[in-house]
Structure 1
Amino acid sequence: MNDPVTEAEREIIARQLGRPPRALVAVAHRCPCGQPDVVETSPRLEDGTPFPTLYYLTCPRATAAASRLESAGRMREWQDELGTDPELAAAYQRAHEAYLATRDARDVLPTRMTAGGMPDRVKCLHALAGHALAAGPGVNPIGDRAVEEMGEWWAAGPCARPSDGDAP
């Protein structure tokens, strides 16, 4: 998707995060309620500091859903599966390479590290779900699993409203 961020969206993202967004480049995905739920950030913060997390989950409901999966032990289960399923490991490696290619097209960082522990570890479902939502189904197999198991976080409606309204 990667839509330019409007001022109204910047305000909504700040309300979602509880702080102003840093190094914001674009809206990378919108939840079915229409609001941003994943943003793309610059590979470097405003002061030039490398920031390897290209996609950032912003919706507090989606973030809570990813946190519930982490608390339930899904990261450990999927990490174990990476060690025993060569097809899953190969697909996860491809997700890592796709992530790097996208990030490198914006700026090459001194690290080859990507979000969520790719390609060898499952360490942050928030980052992996953000990547899966931004890139679309079939790119990041662990992120796709997380998104599927996160359920319908948007079902209660928008998580943040413009400043003239209150967050539900």
Structure 2
Amino acid sequence: MSSPAPPSPPVTADERAVIARQLGRPPRALVGVAHRCPCGQPDVVETAPRLEDGTPFPTLYYLTCPRATAAASRLESAGRMREWQDELATDPELAAGYRAAHESYLATRDDRDVLPTRATAGGMPDRVKCLHALAGHALAAGPGVNPIGDRAVAEMGEWWAAGPCAHPSPDDPEDVR
């Protein structure tokens, strides 16, 4: 079994404000910033396996940058999930890498808290269901851990190229989502 990833660094008040601006709401079960986009802002957060009220929340890594989210949505709309799903059925090496990504994800989440069911993320290990979750995992875990997530990130383009998507102050005139 894969060893769990170290916990994400704690979230500062400024980061929490940026994440809330990115999401358009306060973040839930926020644990830390799991990845920063090249513009320096958070683009993936780590969430606790349970919400504040104890409800299981199996999404460990959550894509927060609205530009990155839009890029993942465009890939989904273009049919990439279906294409990669079909490829999983015919490419044993891709399927093995995807299964290993699933085990890595579960090991990290289980290290934080074991949920009553071992729900998947993004459809892993047998389906390609949510490129947002898979891209978030790939960005948080680093290249080479999640082959489908890596593909999604590569095809999402440079979502950060226009600069930060959100700023700590809601009154900042340069806040663009």
TM-score by length of 2: 0.93
Name the CA distance, whole Å, in 2 between partners of 1:115 and 1:165.
35
Q: Name the SS for the 2:122 alignment partner.
A: helix
Task: For structure 2, list consecutive stretches of 5 or more residues without a partner in the other structure.
Answer: 1-6
Deviations 1:109-151 (A, max 9, x none): 1111221000000000000000000000000000000000000
Aligned to 1:165: 172
Alignment of 1:15-164 (within 5 A): 15-163=21-169, 164=171
Q: Name the SS for the 2:32 alignment partner.
A: strand
Name the CA distance, whole Å, in 1 between partners of 2:167 and 2:57.
28
Name the CA distance, whole Å, in 1 between partners of 2:158 and 2:138.
15
Deviations 1:6-58 (A, max 9, x none): 00100000000000000000000000000000000000000000000000000
- Over aligned residues, Cα RMSD in angstroms? 0.9
Q: Match of 2:80, as an amino acid?
A: R
Name the CA distance, whole Å, in 2 between partners of 1:19 and 1:162.
13
Name the CA distance, whole Å, in 1 between partners of 2:120 and 2:155.
22
Q: Name the SS for the 2:167 alignment partner.
A: coil
Moved over 3 A (4+): none
Q: Name the SS for the 1:38 alignment partner.
A: strand
Structure 1 vs Structure 2: percent identity of aligned residues? 87
Count of matched residue positions in the alignment of Structure 1 and Structure 2: 168
Q: Match of 1:165, as an amino acid?
A: D
Greater relative contact order structure (CA < 8 Å, 6+ sep): 2
TM-score by length of 1: 0.98
Name the CA distance, whole Å, in 2 between partners of 1:116 and 1:58.
16
The answer to which structure has the higher helix fraction is 1
Q: Match of 2:8, as an amino acid?
A: N
1:6 to 5, 12, 15: 12
